[in-house]
Structure 1
Amino acid sequence: MDDAIDSAPLDLEAHLPRLTARGVILSLLVSNHPTQPTPAQVVRAAGVFGIKESAARVALSRMASGDDLVRTPDGFRLSERLLERRQRVLHEVEQETRPWNGEWEIVVVTGTGRDPGDRASLRTRLSRLRLAELREGVWLRPANLMRSLDLGAEPVEVLAGRPVRDAGELLGSLWNLQAWEGESQRLLALMNLAESTVDRFTVATAVVRHLLTDPVLPQELRPDPWTADRVHAAWVAYQEEFVSIPEVGHTS
């Protein structure tokens, strides 16, 4: 743990990005879906997280004009695009696993001469599937996730096998596990120190971003220490804490 964190009071701005009005409002609406709070209710709830009324109202207006929000007779709701994104993020954070039998998923990109945008989109999709790139066009991971790759429309070949390289050495080529664990411990320390509503929300937002990069390793391949389970538990606990805030839980 960073020695600079082990102090009080907590200066969170030195460790994490400042909250934005848009980010806070999205979190409020996501947490309360399918209710449709009025602008005044959203503004009041955003104020709990340090967002000024003027900033909240400007953010609401921009989000509505930018198709992030849909106006309704009673208030606002998330656009279909953001609802789909919410479901995808929740699914990606809460990865289901199965016992690992030693096999690996291997995806080889076979298409050439593709548009840069298409290549970037495929890379993003493979990363979201928790695959990591070993070398140009070759992606793999331990086959311990209960999810479909669903890559039939992509220019790839999907294989399964047992690489000849040592599993620990291979993991080190795919992910910087030491850096990921270091960030896990840093975020856990920040959450333990954070006391105010704003600080705890800020740390929890960073925890979500961190969990979206979790390699979700089988128990057999986890280094020691490996605090991924504790980070997940902290995120789950904060969800209950978040919706119990009166201004959040009663925006409808």
Structure 2
Amino acid sequence: MDGTTDSSALDLEAHLPRLTARGVILSLLVSNHPAQPTPAQVVRAAGAFDIKESAARAALSRMVSGGDLIRTADGFHLSSALLERRQRVLHEVRQETTDWDGEWEIVVVTGSGRDPGDRATLRARLTRLRLAELREGVWLRPANLVRPLGLVGQPVELLRGRPDGDAVELVAALWDLSAWEKESRRLLGLMDLAVSTVDRFTVATAIVRHLLTDPVLPPQLQPHPWTVANVHTAWAAYQEEFVSIPEVGGGAEG
């Protein structure tokens, strides 16, 4: 190979999950907020992602009835709840950190016999807080994040401490760091190869999902190599592209 790759040679379906009609439309509308595109503009933009017109219109209908989108005489706009959720996701991507002093956050789940749905919801919340489960009901992470836990009323006990053993080994037990690093490099490689607007959009969406699982380790506990900073840089560099996807935001068509 000569090192050059035509965008048509990048078969993203072989590398990344196919984007759903709902996912594409939400991403397009979020990226172009506060524009209010018409149904025709949204359908046309979704078509660039191989979303059929019937699927796009069905997704729009479901999203309006589900409260994600609001339809006006001018077009669609995002509900306040969805915008708040988007802001929450962006905040979760850009975790605020502080110098690590060796302490760990420890969350012990104290409730038993709870509904499976409640247990799943709590696990999801703890995961979003970048905690990892060491053993059944015991979640922890280095205490280097600045954010409210928001676990008031949950069946948990919140502790701070310094667990026995080597901190680097504990981190390795909590997260599959080699797999995370491998995925980082794969996504960075795909972004380097992606040329078309659609391909870069698709890879950027995968990068966001990946960053939402970043363990956000303090420098003392990061393995080498650890390219998380490069992934954040790639996502930040994409932001200007992210808001300029064609077909959405201008004109007034039905």
TM norm. shorter chain > 0.5: yes
Give the match's secondary structure for 1:247.
Answer: coil
Indicate the percent of aligned positions where both proteins have the same amino acid: 77
**Contact 1:132–1:174 at 8 Å: present in 2 too?**
yes
Count of matched residue positions in the alignment of Structure 1 and Structure 2:
247
Matches within 5 A, 1:185-204: 185-204=185-204
Range that drifts further, 10-19 or 216-225: 10-19
Match of 2:143, as an amino acid? A
Question: What SS does structure 2 have at the residue aligned with 1:119?
Answer: helix
1:113 is matched by which residue type in structure 2? Answer: G
Task: Give the structure-2-normalised TM-score.
Answer: 0.90
Describe the SS at the equivalent of 1:51.
coil
Does 2:233 match 1:205? no
Q: Between 124-133 and 6-15, report the one with greater CA deviation.
A: 6-15
Cα distance in 1 between the residues matched to 2:222 and 2:18: 32
Q: Distance in 2 between matches of 1:173 and 1:251?
A: 54
1:65 corresponds in structure 2 to 65
- Note the alpha carbon deviations across 1:107-135, whole angstroms, 9 max, x for none: 11111121111111111100000000001
Moved more, 16-25 or 149-158: 16-25
Give the structure-1-normalised TM-score.
Answer: 0.91
- The aligned residue for residue 92 of structure 2 is 92
Partner of residue 3, structure 1: none
Matched letter for residue 140 of structure 1: L
CA contact (8 A) 1:45 1:251 kept: no
SS in 2 for 1:153: coil
Give unmatched runs, 5+ long, in structure 1: 1-5
Q: Which moved more, 1:104-113 or 1:6-15?
A: 6-15
- After TM superposition, the structure 1 = structure 2 runs for residues 153-232 of structure 1, keeping only pairs within 5 Å, are 153-232=153-232
The one-letter code sitting in structure 2 at the alignment partner of 1:243 is V
Query: Mean alpha-carbon deviation: is it higher for 219-228 or for 112-121?
Result: 112-121
| Structure 2 spans left out of the alignment, 5+ residues | none
The amino acid of 1:148's aligned partner reads P
Query: Per-residue displacement from partner, 1:162-185 (whole Å, max 9, x unpaired)?
Result: 111100110111100000000000
State the distance in 2 between where 1:238 and 1:50 align. Answer: 22
d(CA) in 2 for partners of 1:7 and 1:76?
Answer: 37
Deviation at 1:34, TM superposition (A): 2.8
User: 2:236 maps to which residue?
Assistant: 236
C-alpha distance in structure 2 between counterparts of 1:22 and 1:150, whole Å: 29
Matches within 5 A, 1:31-180: 31-180=31-180
CA contact (8 A) 1:35 1:77 kept: yes
**Aligned mates of 2:249, 2:39 — CA distance in 1:** 15
Given that 2:32 and 2:244 are in contact with CA atoms closer than 8 Å, whether structure 1 keeps it comes out as no
